[in-house]
Structures are given as C-alpha cells and as structure tokens.
Amino acid sequence: MKKNNLRSYKNRAWLMLNIVLTIIYLVWRVFYTVPVEYGMVSLVAGVALVVVEVLGALEAGVHYFNMNRIENHLLPDVPIDMFPDVDVYIATYSEPNDLLFKTVNGCVHMDYPDKSKVHIYLCDDSRRPEVRKLAQEMGVGYLDRKDNKGAKAGNLNHAMSVTSSPLIVTFDADMIPKHDFLMKTVPYFVDVDIKNKDRNEKDKIRLGFVQTPQSFYNPDLFQFNLFSENRIPNEQDYFYKDIQVSRNKTNSVIYGGSNTMLSRAALVDIGGFYTGSITEDFATGILLQKKGYICYAINEVLASGLSATELKSLIDQRVRWGRGVISTGRKMHILFTPHLSLGQKVNYLASIWYWYVPIKRLIYIMSPILFATFGYVVLKCTLPQILIFWLPMYITSNISLKMLSQNIRTTKWTSVYETLMFPFMLFPIILETFGITLKKFKVTKKGEIINEKGKNAGYMIPFIVLIVLSVIGIINCIRTIFESGSLNPVVILFWLITNLFSLVMSLFFVQGRDFIRKSERVNAEVDCEVRDNLMSIITTTKDFSEDGISVMLNKPVNIDDELDVDIDLKTDRYHAKMKGRIVHVEESSEGFKYAFCITDMLDSYEEYLQILYDRVPTLPLNLSESLSSFDDLRLNVSNRSKETFYQNRRLPRINMEIDVNTDSGSFVHIINYNYKHIVLSVEDKATNFTLLLVEGLELICKYERIITDNIALYAIENYNEIHNNDEKQKLLEKWIEEVRIHNPNETEGKNDTKVSNNEEFQEMDLL
C-alpha cells in the first residue's frame, strides 16, 4: 500500500509539474512567437499551429485529470440465486460461418448459476440459410427481419422486440467471450437491485451498462505490419484499458458496441439503440447518460475478437468512427444540452476533438517543412527560448503520458499512429465537419487473410511526398547551421527528424507484410500428452493455433513423421483429443520444439476452441522496455530486406561428431543423425554398411548421395524395425543420450552456423 501511495504521489508530482510547464509554454507561444510580421502565409500557419497546440493541451489536460484518480468499480459479491435472465445478441451481417461458430461456441460455454436463463441469439441482418442452420446445430436462437432499416442498431432493436430478459449483452460477430463474462458483469446489476430495494424512487441508482475492453487475439495491423507483435500492445488497449476506465469519474464512459452488458429497462427508456448515427453505440451511450443512467467501464479483459487484417478495412473502420462521432456530437447538442454535467460535456467534446487529429497531424508535419523547405516562418523564437519554454514541457509530457498510461502508450507511438492514418482521414473529417455526412457504411471485413505486401502503392504516395519534403528541409537546416554558425535551426532539425521517423514508419506500415500463418498462434503452456503405438510423452505446449500445436521436449524423441499421433490437451476446464502429424522439428536453447499439424479434430473442436480462446490474449500488454526508435527502424529494414529460408525438417537433427565401428571393422565419423537418415564422414562413400552402436543395436546404412567431398548422406534401412521394437527403441534412446552427454557443445545453434553458409547443407535441412 505504501508503495502504491508513493507511486501515486510521484505521478501527481510529475503531472502538476507538467501542467505548470505547459501553461508557461502556451503563454509564451500565444503572446511571443506568432509570426505576425512575416506575411499572410506565415501568419496563417503560425496561428494554426498555436491553435492545435492549445487544443491538444486541453485534450491532454482532460485525460490527465481523469487518469489522476482512477475509479475502479470492484466486482460486488451478490447472491447467485438473484442472477436474472440474460439475452445475448450476436449481431452479424456478412461474417463467415467459421467466425460465427467461434463466437457462439464461446457464448455457449459461459458460466451461469442457471444456464437456462441465458438466451443466445444470432441476429442475422442478411438472412442467410447457412447462419440459420448454424444456430440450429448449436442450439441457439436465430433472429432475422424483412429489411435492414437502421443497420446494426435496427437489428438490435428488432432483437429487443422479440425477447424479454432484463439484461442484454451485445457482441460483435468476431468477439469470443471468456467463460466468466457473465459472472464478472451481471453482479453489478444485481448489486444495484439490492441497494435500490429500500430506496425512494428519486434516490435509486440507475445502471445503464457495464463496458468491458475490446481485446484482440490476433496482432493488429500496427503490430503486424511493423514487425512489433512482441514489442507493442494493441493500439486499442490505450482507449479501452486506460481512457475508458478513467471516464468512470465523470460518468462519461463510451458504449463500445460489443462486450457490453446493458439494462433492458434503460434501453427502453431511451427508445432503444439509436438508429440515427453510423456510430450507434457512441450515440446510445450518450442518450443513456443524458437520462441519468450510470455507466461503468472495467479494465478486465472478458472477451477477445479479430482485429482488421486489411488496410482498406482499417481505414474504412476509422473513417466511420471519426465521422460518426462528429456527426453524433452535432446531433446530441453536447455543448448546450442541460442533461449532461460539465464533466460529461468536457469529456465528450474531447472525444470529438480527438477525431480532428488528421488536421492536427497535417499542421505538425507541414509546419517545419514550410520553414526549412519553403522558407516561411511559422514561429519566431531563439534556441535559448526553446530550451527554456519547450524542452521542459516536452520531457515532462512524455514522462507523464508513459506513467499515467501504465506504459501502454508514449508520445512517440501516438505520433506514429496519428501519422499513419491522417492522409486517409483528412478529407472525410473535413467533409463531416461541414455536414456532408456518411449515411451508410461497410461492415469491417474480418476473418479473411489477404496478403497486401506490395499492393498498396497508391497509399504510399502522401508519405513519399512528405518524406522527400522533410529530407530537403533537413538538408537545408544542416547547411544553414554550418554556413551561419548559428544553432537556432537545431530545433527545426529535431522537429523534422522526429516527423521523418513517423513518416518512414508509416511507409513501412503501408508497404504491408505477408501473412505466413492461416490462423493465429497462442503462446501458452497447456498440459499435453503425445502418443504413438509405442510411447507416451507427457509435456506442455509451446504454442498452438486452430491448425497446429507445438511442444517442447528436453531431448530428441523418435516420432515417425509419416504417421499420425494422438494428442491430448487438458486444462482445468477443457479436454481436447485430436490426431496430428509432425511438420517441423528444431532445436534451441530451450530444447527440441516439435510442431504438429492437426489432421483430425475427432469430436473435440468445440473444446479445443475454448482452450485457444478462453483466455486473455497472449500479445504484449505493455510497451517493451528496450524499445527505441533505432530498433524500430532496424527491425523493419532488416526484416524487409532479408530472404526467408523455410526449413522443412520433420525429424530432429541430432549433432553427434563421434566415431563408430562398422561391421567391416573400420570406423566412420557420424556428423548428425535424424533416425531415418545419417550424415557420415567416410572415405569410401558409395559403400553400404552397418554401424554397430551397442550390443543388440545396429544401423543398416544405404548410400543416397554425396553432400561434400568427404561427407555423404545415408538412409537407415532398418528404421521401421527399430521404431516398432520397444527394446531396440530404448537402446537407441540410451545411446543417443550418452552421445549427447559426451558432446554437450554440439548444439543446434553451432551446427546451424555451418549450415547457413553451405547450400548443400541447407539441402540437408529439408529432410
């Protein structure tokens, strides 16, 4: 507790210092730096820059005020016999059946004291026979309607009209709930009912909804395209885990449309889900709060979905969000309505201003370019003034954001995200501002993997143009510094380089990256048993996906790569049995990794899906501590320039470097061995012979081909005889273990160095 208090005081101290320094900086900027006397272009650019800085500071001030003291609503302890009926709505329009299956499967497996009170409905707004059949097969309700009036909101309102439970859950078609979703959300409403029992009507608590985070089990495009799946959290984590929870303080939590528990009575009170906006969720939440309903946000992940995997879908999604929020703000009269508190108004205005970030980012990028490349002054100042007024504010802002966001977001990554999206959102946001509203929208495409590498050339153009202009400006600044001997241009130089980093990262992002896997991989340890006709291996998984499983073993094991094995996975809740076959084996410092493709799911598909998805996603929750801009660039350059070499080694290559006697009395040198093949250093390479390993165990070697001058590859002709004989198999394992003990330095890593420099050895990797 003392440690937490100390951290809280430290955060507040930094925050107060940043506020003071920001106010000083803004006063200086407004009254002393606007280039009034440098012409109309300079004046307009200078005023625009000051305006966005002031508004940005106000937005940050609202966020810092919220984050300064988080109000977490702890899960109430309530009697389970008071849990009411719940309707679960899964809104779908064009999503594929396999995606819907996973969501419904997660809903079916949700815990509840009386599961007969949980009513699950597929709300299909495209009236597909295959979706109706899926609902019937999975034992859930199917709802459709004769038209699509009101889009998603109309779909949900129709579902309300034919159902009756007092609580409603809304899920997007791709959002898979954890088993405890209901048990972690329903108690808030039961607790309110208990507290309201003896209260007067005017004193009763009115709970509108409980919003849980929208989390994602696959890397978002920012993580994936920038080779940062293991280095940065999902871009949406900052909003759902920080900003949303911080808004509990002012009862201005935004309804996110999915992963949400709502009160039917509250929805009825406002006339149902709002149909007059393309962001019906945002508008519905405001209406609930205008009616006096309290809305909670919690930061525990209780459901996870599929992030957009296509650039165009991502752009369409963000354009819809931005235009919808601006349009809704105008329709809801947020500034002048008497039904919202000052805190609510300020927070919703900050939400609306956020979507003007494309204009803000354009100004931030063009301001130094106007000065360094085209010669227009955008602010008048000296280097000492910058060091006195700007630098302290800049440093404390970075530290404050990192601390208050719990290392989910930094100024650098905010700049990268904003730069990435601003060229594609700029004109839609301007159009929406002048009332040219987007009346229809496309559903974000999910569930389909499309390789976009090299296909987005048109999206690169704005970034290439701005990069060229920035580089020209950088060259001009450097030349001015050397020619004039003045360091004043250093400030513009730093600004240009900072912007250039974000522009280059944006170019990398738009360039794309090929998807290698068909399905997402979960890095998690789950108890696992692998069996063939002779042995059983008890281990844990390294990672797994819908298509395959990999396990770690501390020593090589002879598993036939041409035969299926039985695989059992067990958790404290689920048990899945399936068939699999080896597709890859590799050795690392951790041991031998055996990867299996799933060949037959038997009757365990539903259980296996739960093992996969009934968990908090294993992607990063925080920014990597070793993260640097240099590393960001290095990783992208190196990964995009190197050729990928795919190994297809389905048996463990065991490095030996040992001399062994043959049936002819001579000795040969074993380099490596993989149960079915062996690489030997021999003088007479084309000869077939038998290796005498230990008493009762021999390897009959048949020559196949030369690898190098004194090295040849041989097939083990008696492999099946050894593999199917329990006694000989045990002798072989014991012999291999003794060889490995006596040759501890013959590791995979050491031999890989040899292989990577020799094409003929790389050919050996394919065995």
Which of residues 516 and 443 earns the better pLDDT score?
A: 516
Residue 645 has a pLDDT of: 55
How confident is the model over 507-533, as a mean pLDDT?
Answer: 88
| Greater pLDDT, 292 or 514 | 292
Q: How many CA atoms lie within 13 A of 280 on its CB side?
A: 23
**Burial call 123-151: b when 16+ CB within 10 Å, e when fewer:** bbbeebeebeebbeebebbbbebeeeebb
CB 550 within 8 A of CB 543: yes
SS3 category, 431: helix
The token duo for 672 is: 């490596």
Q: Which residues contact 702 (CB under 8 A, 6 or more apart)?
A: 688, 714, 715, 716, 717
Tell me what percent of the residues of the chain surpass a pLDDT of 90.
74
Confidence of residue 117 (pLDDT cuts 50, 70, 90): very high
In tens, the pLDDT along 326-372 reads 999 999 999 999 999 999 999 999 999 999 999 999 999 999 999 99
> 217-272 pLDDT, tens per residue?
999 999 999 999 889 999 999 999 889 999 999 999 999 999 999 999 999 999 99
pLDDT band at 751; cut points 50, 70, 90 = very low
- Mean pLDDT to the nearest integer, 694-720: 92
> What is the token pair recorded at 446?
């999910």
Residue 725 has a CB neighbour count (10 Å cut-off) of 15
Q: What pLDDT was estimated at residue 749?
A: 39
Sheet holding 303-305, edge to edge: 176-177, 303-305, 215-216
Contact call for residues 295 and 288 (beta carbons, < 8 A): yes
Instruction: Give which of 198, 38, 177 is closest to 118, Cα–Cα.
Output: 177
Q: What pLDDT band is residue 528 in, cutting at 50, 70 and 90?
A: very high
Please give the Cα distance from 370 to 407 (Å, whole number).
Answer: 34
Residue with tokens 């996973």: 102
Residue 750 pLDDT > 80: no
Strands 667-673 and 654-661, how do they pair?
A: antiparallel
HEC string of 511-580? HCCCCCCCCCCECCCCEEEEECCCCEEEEEEEEECCCEEEEEECCCCCCCCCCCEEEEEECCCCEEEEEE
Q: What's the length of the chain?
A: 767
Report the C-alpha gap between 552 and 540 in whole angstroms.
7
Cβ–Cβ under 8 Å, residues 594 and 565:
no
Mean pLDDT, to the nearest integer, of 67-92?
92
CA distance 729 to 721: 9
pLDDT of amino acid 766: 33
Q: Quote the CA–CA distance of 240 and 233 in Å, as a whole number.
A: 12
Mean pLDDT of the chain: 90
Beta bridge partners of 713: 679, 705
pLDDT of residue 12: 77
| Bigger pLDDT: 104 vs 435 | 104
Residue 42, Cβ density class (10 Å: 0-12 exposed, 13-18 middle, ≥19 buried):
buried
Q: How far is Cα 390 from Cα 397, in angstroms, rounded to an integer? A: 11
Residue 428, by phi and psi: left (phi above 0), alpha (psi -120 to 50) or beta? alpha
Looking at the predicted structure, is the pLDDT value of residue 767 above 70? no
Of 625 and 566, more confident: 566
Q: Give the per-residue pLDDT at 478.
A: 95
DSSP states along 715-740: EETTHHHHHT-HHHHHHHHHHHHHHH
- The 3-state DSSP class for residue 106 equals helix
pLDDT > 70? residue 199: yes
41 pLDDT higher than 60: yes
Contact assessment for residue 304 and residue 613, using Cβ atoms and an 8 Å cutoff: yes
Both structure tokens of 19 = 């506020």
User: What is the pLDDT averaged over residues 677-692?
Assistant: 87
List pLDDT tens digits, range 606-640: 999 999 999 999 888 888 876 788 889 998 998 88
Write b or e for each residue in 635-644: b if 16 or more Cβ atoms lie within 10 A of its Cβ, otherwise e: ebeeeeeeee
Helices 490-511 & 629-641 angle (0-180, nearest 10): 40
CA angle, residues 427, 428, 431, in degrees to nearest 5: 85
Helix (H, G, I), strand (E, B) or coil at 491: helix
* Cα separation, 121 vs 111, whole angstroms: 17
How does DSSP classify residue 240?
Answer: I
pTM: 0.90
Q: How far apart are the first and last CA of the chain?
A: 58
SS3 state of residue 283 = helix
The two three-digit tokens of residue 417, written as one number: 């995200």
> Would you place residue 403 in the very low, low, confident or very high pLDDT band (cuts 50, 70, 90)?
confident
Cα angle: 545, vertex 259, 176; to 5 degrees: 20
CA 685 to chain centre: 53
As a whole number of angstroms, the distance between CA 599 and CA 443 comes to 33
The stretch 518-537 carries a mean pLDDT of: 90
